Structures are given as C-alpha cells and as structure tokens.
Amino acid sequence: MSLESLPIASPRVLRPAIGSVTLSLIVALYLTFVTNRTFWSKAVDYLGAPSFAVVLLAIGLFALFSAVCVAVSVKYLTKPFFILLIMIAAASSRFMDTFGTIIDVDMIRNAAETTGSEAGHLLTAGFLTHMLIFGIVPSLLIVFVRIRHRPFFQKFKHNLVLVLCLLAVFTSVSIANVRTFAAAIRQHRDLAATVNPVAPIVSAVRYVMATGADSNITVQPLGADARVVAPMLSGKPRVTIIVAGETARAENFSLGGYARDTNPLLARQDIQYFTDTSSCGTATAVSLPCMFSVYTRASYTHRKGLETENLTDVLTHAGIKAEWWENNTGSKGVADRIAYTSFSDINDPRFCKNNECLDDVALDRLGAWLDGIKGDSVLVIHQLGSHGPAYYLRYPEKFRRFTPDCRTAELGNCSREEIVNAYDNSILYTDYIVSSVIDMLKAREEKMAGSMIYMSDHGESLGENGLYLHGAPYFIAPSQQTHIPFVLWTGKETRAGIDQACLKATANEPRSHDNLFHTVLGLMNVATGVYDPALDALAACRTNAAS
C-alpha cells in the first residue's frame, strides 16, 4: 500500500473529547482553588488552620461553582462562558494577589475613568505573564478540546439533577457551619469581597446598572444665593489656590513627624499643618468629587455628587472666577461648568511624555495666570503627585534623593525599601511644588490677598499587611490610605483676620475632606445658606479683622 493511500486523520479526530459535565467540574475546580489565592489566604487566617471550617468552606464553594458551571454548559455557550470566567478570574487574581486589591464598585469606577497612560503602568510584563499562564493557556485548552453534549432533553434532566445535588451540598455545608461562617463574614467583610470571580463580576454589574441610572441625572443648583460679603479693606482681590494632591499619605510627611525630611521647603514656610486629617474615599473617583461637594463623607454618594453642584459652582454664583488645571485623570465631573485646562492634552514636551506630565507644568503657567488676575479668583491644581505604581516617573532626576529607588512599575521586582524610597522622592517633589505655589503668591502680596490649601485626595499602601497602592473599601482601608496631609498658607492680609495662636492650638484636632468646601467659602468671604461654620477649619479662629 502506498503512503498516498493511507487514511489521514482529520483534525477533529485528533482533538481530545470531554463531557460537558466533566469540563464544568474541572473549570469549577480551577476557579475555586487556582484563582482564589487571596480568598483562601484570608479564609485560613480568619477561620484558622488546620480547620474543619476551611474544609467545609472549600467543599461548599466548589459545589456552588460547579452548580453554576454545569447549569450553563449548554452547546454553543459553554466555551465562551468558561473562557470569560477564566479571563476575569485571571485578571482579578493578579491585582488581588499582587497588590491586595479588592475589586468593588468604586474600584471598577476608578478603572473605567482612568487614562491610557495610567492603565499602561499596570499592564506590565508581570501582568502579561500572569494572564498568559492563568488566563490564556487554560482558555486555549478549552478551545482545543471537543465537548460532548447529550441530547437536549436528556441533558436537561441529567444536569438539573446534578445542579440540585450540588446546591444541596452547598446548602448543607452552609447550614452545618452557619455560625462560624456568619461570624467570620460579619467580622471580616473583606472575605466575601475577595471571592473570585464572583465579587468582581457582581461589582461590574452594579457599576453598569448605576452608570445607566446616572445617565439621566439633572444637576441641581447649589448656593445660588452666594455672594461675597465684602471686599478686602485694601481693595485687593482675594485669590485662593487649591492644590488637590494625589496619593500623598500623611505618614510620609515630615511635617507630621516622619523621620525622613520629605518636606524641607514647606517646613520653612509660614504654614499650618493639620496633623489628623482623613479622606472621603481611597480612590480619586470617590475622593475628588466628595471633597469638593457640600456633603460629608457620611452622607456622600456617587449619585449625590453627580446631581448636585459643588464648591466651584457656588464660587461662580458668588461672582468669583473659578478655574481648574488638570494634571491627572480628570476632575471626575467637578469642573464640568468652569474653565478647564488639561495638561495631558497639551502634552508640553518640556514636562510631558506620553501624555503624562510632571507637576512643574503647572508652575510654568502659574506666574502668568496670577499676573492676569482682575478680581476674586480660585484656582484648583489637580496634581499627578505620587500616583503609583510608577512612582519613579513622578519626580525629576534632581529630586532623586532617597536611593536606591524602585525604577519600574513592576513593584514585585523591587524591595520594599526601594519602593518607599521612590515614593518618598515623589513626596519631596510635591513639597517643592506646593512651596513654589506659596512663593509665587508671596511675591504678589502687594497686588492680591492670597491663600493656599494643599489637601491630598487619599493615601497609599506601600506593602503594609501585604497591601499596595490604594482603593481599598473604606470599611477595611488601613490608615495609610485614609490619613492624608492638609496644609494651609495664608498671606499677610488674610492671616491678620485669623488668630494664629488659636489655629496652632487646634492643629491636632480631627479634620477631613468635609472641611474643604466650607473653609474655602470662609477664605473667600462668601455668604450662602449652604455654608456651615462648624465645618470651616478656620471659623473658630477668625477675628473681625478678616475683611
């Protein structure tokens, strides 16, 4: 017989076949134990090991995942659904396992509103390798195999019985140890929030639903009665610059007692540093609109922030020029109705690379802006600040004081000392930026009554308790992500209306983002029904000499 006459096996014959139920159980096993390292680490920590409760939890979770996979193992749906689950779980596990991230609605919103440059720092070689091993390879195996399906009605009956049995196992396990599980979840709410891919999928669905509901919002006016009570006695315009910091944590500010001298320039300025200040959230998408809103952290919601005018609008109602300079990922809706400049869009090559700019880009324009002031004005400068994980890109070479510093966005390739060094260099650079703003205001005191507020949007974790970056749900967020720096500088004329001894005596009292809205209105001498002196950080120390 010639070689040409030999039968050739078709590619279909060479591909291994597997039953849909068997594949479902394998996928469930993979999701339960391979992509849930963070969950199981927490479960062992909270429930104890060795622990019968952990064993029961493993059995119950595997039964639940199996029931879901078997239920959807329908012809033409099985492969796409399983691949989607695996890819979501792989991506989520990367951030959970590497940075300690919990993917809740706010984290999804933060990711959805980020820029390409910011996202690019997270798409590292480590991320791509992780996705290849834990996402793409398993997905290709699913694509490669042939799935055997029973006839429809036979499959329906068989799978229904199996799903009911699996759910019965899950229910029995849950009931058998309900007190232990309930106590663990109640005391450690982060446990359920790390079940992968359930928690990320639920968060994504909730985000989409909320986004759809928010699309029809009509912004309601706020402080339409606002007016400047009286001009400065000197006739000079009042000018306040708000530097909205990014990812600066108070723990690394030498103004607050940090051992390293990260604030050498601000320490020489006549400033007031408030030592106990907390943020409204742990991610920019929450904190930034919250800090400019009239709502306190306790009452703020994303929807309220969207449907209510904010501080910049109230200032505009009072006849004050409000302007926003953006060097981050956007104003998150705060500056929608005022003059707005995006430095990343301008992409000035002197300061910018790939649409990310050093904060010097704002200083370059500030002098001319101040010289053009005609009346009362408020300028918001939204910094890039210390945004991670590429801390080393946030400061120029001359601010590379603490070395060796981590020179990559792949934090896993750096020691904790290198990560902290890079972060501290970024704080040192912020010290220069903020101090330079003060110097520019001081140089023009003959022409204007200036003030400056620096307040970070949230803090940052640098490896404490295995956490990195920010965005942890507030109920479990460590102090490193919520304790923020708050700096105030006032010019001579504004300072004359504030009892400095009183201010220093109250500097250690608790402050928060709740204070920004009302403190700025107070500095600008704005009267309005929405102003609350109890939330004005300076109200208790003001004298009649203010105007």
High-pLDDT (> 90) share of the chain, %: 79
Amino acid, res. 343: F
Question: Per-residue pLDDT for 157 more than 60?
Answer: yes
Question: Which H or E run includes 487?
Answer: strand 483-490
Strand partners, 341: 325
CB 95 within 8 A of CB 467: no
Query: Taking the CB of residue 78, how many other CB atoms lie within 10 A of it?
Result: 19
How confident is the model at residue 367, as a pLDDT? 97
How confident is the model at residue 13, as a pLDDT? 54
Instruction: Please state, in angstroms and rounded to a whole number, the distance separating the CA atoms of residues 340 and 326.
Output: 7
**For strand 468-469 and strand 461-462, is the pairing parallel, antiparallel, or unpaired?**
antiparallel
- What 3 state SS string does 419-468 have? HHHHHHHHHHHHHHHHHHHHHHHHCCCCCCEEEEEEEECCCCEECHHHCE
Instruction: Please state, in angstroms and rounded to a whole number, the distance separating the CA atoms of residues 226 and 476.
Output: 38
Of the two residues 413 and 50, the one the predictor is more confident about is: 413
**CB-facing half-sphere around the CA of 367: CA atoms within 13 A:** 8
If you average pLDDT over each of 9-13, 230-234, 314-318, 494-498, which comes out highest?
314-318
**For strand 352-353 and strand 356-357, is the pairing parallel, antiparallel, or unpaired?**
antiparallel
Task: Look at 7-21, 242-256, 347-361, 420-434 and tell me which has the smallest mean pLDDT.
Answer: 7-21
Angstrom distances, CA of residue 365 to CA of 80, 355, 437: 52, 17, 11
Question: Per-residue pLDDT for 92 more than 60?
Answer: yes
pLDDT band at 106 (very low <50, low <70, confident <90, very high): confident
- How big is the CA angle at 61 (ends 59 and 67), to the nearest 5 degrees? 100
Question: Per-residue pLDDT for 3 more than 50?
Answer: no
pLDDT band at 23 (very low <50, low <70, confident <90, very high): very high
Q: Is 296 exposed, middle or buried (0-12, 13-18, 19+ CB in 10 A)?
A: middle
Of the two residues 185 and 196, the one the predictor is more confident about is: 196
| pTM for the predicted model, two decimal places | 0.89
Of the two residues 124 and 315, the one the predictor is more confident about is: 315
Instruction: Please state, in angstroms and rounded to a whole number, the distance separating the CA atoms of residues 432 and 79.
Output: 55
> Is residue 384 classed as helix, strand or coil in its secondary structure?
coil
Strand partners, 239: 377, 450
> Is residue 100 classed as helix, strand or coil in its secondary structure?
coil
Question: Per-residue pLDDT for 8 more than 70?
Answer: no
Question: What does pLDDT average to over the chain?
Answer: 93
Of the two residues 14 and 368, the one the predictor is more confident about is: 368
Instruction: Please state, in angstroms and rounded to a whole number, the distance separating the CA atoms of residues 5 and 25.
Output: 42
CB 90 within 8 A of CB 35: yes
Instruction: Please state, in angstroms and rounded to a whole number, the distance separating the CA atoms of residues 520 and 242.
Output: 9
C-beta pairs of 335-343 under 8 Å, 24+ apart in sequence: 335/380, 337/309, 337/312, 337/313, 338/312, 338/313
Amino acid, res. 222: L
pLDDT band at 234 (very low <50, low <70, confident <90, very high): confident
CB 181 within 8 A of CB 48: no
- DSSP-derived letter for residue 483 is E
**For strand 461-462 and strand 321-326, is the pairing parallel, antiparallel, or unpaired?**
unpaired
How confident is the model at residue 12, as a pLDDT? 52
Single out the residue of 493, 500, 438, 534 nearest to residue 231, CA to CA.
Answer: 493
Question: Per-residue pLDDT for 7 more than 70?
Answer: no
pLDDT band at 15 (very low <50, low <70, confident <90, very high): confident
Single out the residue of 88, 82, 64 nearest to residue 18, CA to CA.
Answer: 82
Question: Per-residue pLDDT for 9 more than 60?
Answer: no
**pLDDT (tens digit, 9 = 90+) per residue, 299-309?**
999 999 999 99
**pLDDT (tens digit, 9 = 90+) per residue, 370-429?**
999 999 999 999 999 999 999 999 999 999 999 999 999 999 999 999 999 999 999 999
How confident is the model at residue 1, as a pLDDT? 43
How confident is the model at residue 546, as a pLDDT? 43
Cis peptide before 404 (omega within 30 of 0): yes
Q: Per CATH, which fold does 235-490+497-532 belong to?
A: Alkaline Phosphatase, subunit A (3.40.720)
How confident is the model at residue 50, as a pLDDT? 66
Task: Look at 183-187, 286-290, 519-523 and tell me which has the smallest mean pLDDT.
Answer: 183-187
CB 339 within 8 A of CB 377: no
SS3 content of the chain, % helix, strand, coil (to 5): 50, 15, 35
* Domain residue extents for the chain: 12-213, 235-490+497-532
Task: Tell me which residue has tokens 């398993």.
Answer: 138
- Mean pLDDT calculated for residue range 140-144: 95
**pLDDT (tens digit, 9 = 90+) per residue, 192-211?**
899 999 999 999 999 998 88
pLDDT band at 313 (very low <50, low <70, confident <90, very high): very high
CB 255 within 8 A of CB 263: yes
